[in-house]
Structure 1
Amino acid sequence: MIGRAFRMKLKPGTVEEYKRRHDEIWPELVDLLKNSGIYDYSIFLDEETLHLFAVLKLWPDQNIAALPEHPVMRRWWDHMADLMEVEPGNRPREWPLVQMFHLA
């Protein structure tokens, strides 16, 4: 198992809509993420700062490096861009997180 964690940030006033859109996540996006080797993916919100904390668990043979070029991923980023801080091309701004502890 490979783990990865990162932080993103919502714009003020977008929490409910962010949650709603993820509650209605596209089946083709779910398939893409799973087929890329992601088998567990959680996003947590710090309501005080609007920071999102994402934690991924990946299979050893994962291929997430190809995700940014996939049309479904790019459509999802465009769909979410009005809610969060993004890079040019609407990729969400990500700040990697360093694992400091793990209890297995």
Structure 2
Amino acid sequence: MKRYCMALDLKNDPQLIKEYEARHQQVWPEILESIKNSGIISMEIYRWENRLFMIMDTEDHFSFKEKALSDKANPIVEEWENLMWKYQQALPGTKSGEKWQLMKQIFPFSMDNYQK
């Protein structure tokens, strides 16, 4: 299993943020199917103000490149992504149109590795 953490910003508009959260309470079944079929085991999105943080656990064979190709070939996923872009904005310092940014792990702690 692999774990990825990613960040993205929402437009800093309380109404848009409320709508974005509501959309994620009723994610389209085709989107959930696409997530499952790509090798994603679990996905969680957290929000602080307009900053989003995503944790994804995936199967070992998961590939961002393959997921992107699959998404481009799926008109429903493309429709969802275009709709989400209404609420989202790129993080400072990223190229125009870039969405979720992979974060670098800087501190791993696990009780399995903790020695007293």
TM-score bracket for this pair, using the shorter chain length: 0.7 to 0.9
* Residues paired across the two proteins, number: 99
Structure 2 unaligned blocks of 5 or more: 91-95
**Amino acid of the residue matched to residue 54 of structure 1?**
M
Distance 1:102 1:65 in 2: 29
Q: 1:9 deviation in Å?
A: 0.3
Aligned match of 1:2: 2
Matches within 5 A, 1:33-72: 33-47=35-49, 50-68=50-68, 69-71=72-74, 72=76
Structure 1: runs of 5+ lacking an equivalent? none
SS at match of 2:81: helix
Corresponding residue for residue 80 of structure 2:
76
Retained in 2: the 8 A contact 1:67–1:73?
no
Give 1:94 shift.
Answer: 2.4
Q: Structure 1 pair 12/39, CA: closer, same or farther in 2 (3 Å)?
A: same
1:25-73: CA deviations, max 9, x gaps? 01111011001100110011112xx110011000112244223223232
Q: CA RMSD in A?
A: 1.8
Give the letter for the 2:22 counterpart. R
Contact 2:39/2:62 (<8 A) preserved: yes
| TM-score, normalised relative to structure 1 | 0.83
Q: Is the 8 A contact 2:30 2:77 kept in 1?
A: no
Q: Partner amino acid for 2:101?
A: W
**Distance in 2 (alpha carbons) for counterparts of 1:75 and 1:64:** 19
72, 89, 108: which one aligns with 1:101: 108
